[in-house]
C-alpha cells in the first residue's frame, strides 16, 4: 500500500476522503476527535504544495441534500484546527464544487458538502456508484484515503474512486492499520478484550474470532443481559436478544474449551426508568443489585461497583487491551461509572491500550479523560470490529489495488 510520501503532490489537486462524521447538537460539534485525527494528513499535503479537496459523509441523509446533515460547521472547525481558511463548497460535484476547486491555489484547502447528499455514494448498483465516482474523479488528480471510519463501506468515494486516480493511504489509515496488526498478528500477552454496547448481535462475529486469540473477554453494557439470561438469570426489562441465546451458550462453552476466561458482570445498576441523558435529572429508583437478582420491572443500565473492581483486577496484568462499546448509559452521570472504571483501568495499566472507536471513544472524551494516556483511540468502531472479525475492508482493498 502506497503512502502519501510516495505521491508527488506539489501543484496537484489531491482528493482526501476523510471521516468527518462528527456528532452535532443544534448545529454545534460536540466531539471534534475525527476532525483532529485527519488534520495531520491534510496539513502535510498542504505543506507540500497540494491543492487539497476534502470530502466526507455525515449522518444518514437519504441521497439528497438535508440541512441537518450539512458539513458547513465542520469546515469552520477544520479551519480552526489547521490554522487556515477552509473554503466550503455547497454541493459535492455541482457548480459550487467545480468553482471552489478551480479557485484553489497551491497550499489551499476546500471541503465539499456531504457525499451522501448524492444517491450514487451509497448505491448498491455498481454502475450508479461508478458514475458518481467518475464525477468525483474529475475534480482531482490524486486520491488519498484517510477516512478509516468508512473503510468497511463499499461506497463510491471509498471503494470506486481510488481505482480511477493514482492513490495512497493517509497518515491516519497507516496508524490505524498498524494498531490493528498489534491486535491480530503481533499480540503481546495477556490479551484482554472488553466488549460493551447495546446488542450482542453486533459483536458475535468478533467474539467468534477472538475466542481463538484473546486470553480474557470481559462483557458489559446492554449485550451482557443476553449472556446473563443464557445462564438462567432474570434480567427484568433489560436489553435482551433472546434469539441469540443459543449462540451465546455455544461461545461460553467454546471459551471454556479454548481456555479463554469469559467474565460477566456480578452486580448491576438498575432502574425502572431509562435516564434523561440531556438534563441529567436524578434517577430516584436507582439501585445496585446482584447480577442474578435484577427485579422483573427494572432495567440494567450500568455495571455495579463489584463488577468495576473485578474488571479492573482482570485488566491489571494485561499486556494488550482492546475496548469496544460502553459498559452503561455513560451519557447520564449515574450510569457512567462502568465506563469511568474501565477507562481508568486502561490508564493505570502498563498495557498497550486501544479504545475501539464509536461510543467508547466518545465516552473517553465526554467523561474528561486525557486521550494521550491511551495507546490509541480509534476513529472507526465498525471498521475496527470488522478487521478483528477477519473481514476484508473494501476501502483498504481499494488502496492496496
Contact 343, 220 (CB under 8 A): no
Distance CA 213, CA 394 (A): 24
The CA–CA distances, whole Å, from 180 to 118, 174, 336, 356, 378 equal 32, 10, 27, 10, 10
User: Is-catalytic flag, 229?
Assistant: no
Question: Does residue 70 have a known ligand-binding role?
Answer: no
Question: Does residue 400 have a known ligand-binding role?
Answer: no
The CA–CA distances, whole Å, from 70 to 17, 21, 28, 74, 148 equal 16, 10, 11, 8, 20
Partnered with residue 29 across adjacent β-strands are: 24
* Burial annotation 302-339 (CB, 10 A radius, 16+ → b, else e): bbbeebbebbbebbeebebbbbbbbbbbbbbebbbbbb
Question: Does residue 327 have a known ligand-binding role?
Answer: no
Question: Does residue 49 have a known ligand-binding role?
Answer: no
Question: Does residue 331 have a known ligand-binding role?
Answer: yes
Question: Does residue 359 have a known ligand-binding role?
Answer: yes
Question: Does residue 300 have a known ligand-binding role?
Answer: yes
Question: Does residue 13 have a known ligand-binding role?
Answer: no
Question: Does residue 34 have a known ligand-binding role?
Answer: yes
Question: Does residue 375 have a known ligand-binding role?
Answer: no
Question: Does residue 153 have a known ligand-binding role?
Answer: yes
| Residue from 222, 358, 380, 381 carrying the catalytic annotation | 358
| Residue from 36, 164, 199, 391 carrying the catalytic annotation | 199
Question: Does residue 236 have a known ligand-binding role?
Answer: no
Question: Does residue 178 have a known ligand-binding role?
Answer: no
Distance CA 326, CA 281 (A): 21
Question: Does residue 358 have a known ligand-binding role?
Answer: yes
Question: Does residue 17 have a known ligand-binding role?
Answer: no
| Residue from 34, 77, 175, 308 carrying the catalytic annotation | 34
| Residue from 325, 328, 382, 395 carrying the catalytic annotation | 382
Question: Does residue 116 have a known ligand-binding role?
Answer: yes
Question: Does residue 59 have a known ligand-binding role?
Answer: yes
Distance CA 372, CA 364 (A): 11
User: Is-catalytic flag, 382?
Assistant: yes
- Annotated binding-site residues for substrate read 19-21, 34, 57-60, 116, 153
Residues carrying an active site annotation: 34, 199, 358, 382
- Annotated binding-site residues read 19-21, 34, 57-60, 116, 153, 203, 300, 331, 357-360
- Annotated binding-site residues for ATP read 203, 300, 331, 357-360
- Annotated binding-site residues for (2R)-3-phosphoglycerate read 34, 116, 153
Amino acid at each position: 500500500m502506497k503512502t502519501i510520501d510516495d505521491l508527488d503532490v506539489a501543484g496537484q489537486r489531491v482528493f482526501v476522503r476523510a471521516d468527518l462524521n462528527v456528532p452535532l447538537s443544534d448545529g454545534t460539534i460536540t466531539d471534534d476527535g475525527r476532525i483532529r485525527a485527519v488534520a495531520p494528513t491534510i496539513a502535510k499535503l498542504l505543506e507540500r504544495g497540494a491543492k487539497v479537496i476534502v470530502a466526507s459523509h455525515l449522518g444518514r441523509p437519504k441521497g439528497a441534500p438535508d440541512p441537518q446533515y450539512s458539513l458547513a460547521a465542520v469546515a469552520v472547525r477544520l479551519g480552526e484546527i489547521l490554522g487556515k481558511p477552509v473554503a466550503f463548497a455547497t454541493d459535492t460535484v455541482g457548480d459550487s464544487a467545480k468553482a471552489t476547486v478551480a479557485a484553489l491555489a497551491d497550499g489551499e484547502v476546500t471541503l465539499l458538502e456531504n457525499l451522501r447528499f448524492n444517491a450514487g455514494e451509497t448505491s448498491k448498483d455498481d454502475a450508479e456508484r461508478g458514475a458518481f465516482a467518475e464525477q468525483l474523479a474529475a475534480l482531482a488528480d490524486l486520491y488519498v484515503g484517510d477516512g478509516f471510519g468508512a473503510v468497511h463501506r463499499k461506497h463510491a468515494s471509498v471503494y470506486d474512486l481510488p481505482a480511477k486516480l493514482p492513490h495512497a493511504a493517509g497518515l491516519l489509515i497507516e496508524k490505524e492499520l498498524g494498531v490493528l496488526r498489534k491486535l491480530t498478528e503481533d499480540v503481546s500477552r495477556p490479551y484482554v478484550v472488553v466488549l460493551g454496547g447495546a446488542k450482542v448481535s453486533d459483536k458475535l462475529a468478533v467474539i467468534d474470532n477472538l475466542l481463538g486469540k484473546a486470553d480474557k473477554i470481559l462483557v458489559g453494557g446492554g449485550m451482557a443481559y443476553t449472556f446473563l439470561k443464557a445462564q438462567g438469570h432474570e434480567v427484568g426489562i433489560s436489553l435482551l436478544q433472546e434469539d441469540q441465546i443459543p449462540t451465546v451458550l455455544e461461545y461460553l462453552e467454546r471459551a471454556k474449551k479454548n481456555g479463554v476466561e469469559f467474565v460477566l458482570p456480578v452486580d448491576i445498576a438498575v432502574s425502572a426508568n431509562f435516564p434523561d441523558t440531556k438534563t441529567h435529572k436524578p434517577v430516584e429508583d436507582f439501585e445496585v443489585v446482584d447480577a442474578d437478582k435484577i427485579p422483573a420491572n427494572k432495567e440494567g443500565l450500568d455495571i455495579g461497583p463489584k463488577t468495576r473492581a473485578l474488571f479492573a483486577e482482570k485488566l491489571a496484568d494485561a499486556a494488550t487491551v482492546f475496548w469496544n462499546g460502553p459498559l452503561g448509559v455513560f451519557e447520564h452521570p449515574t450510569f457512567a461509572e462502568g465506563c469511568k472504571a474501565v477507562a481508568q483501568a486502561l490508564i493505570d495499566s502498563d498495557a498497550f491500550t486501544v479504545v475501539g472507536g464509536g461510543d467508547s471513544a466518545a465516552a473517553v472524551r465526554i467523561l474528561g479523560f486525557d486521550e494521550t494516556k491511551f495507546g490509541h483511540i480509534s476513529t472507526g468502531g465498525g471498521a475496527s470490529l470488522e478487521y478483528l472479525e477477519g473481514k476484508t475492508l473494501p476501502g483498504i482493498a481499494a488502496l492496496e489495488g
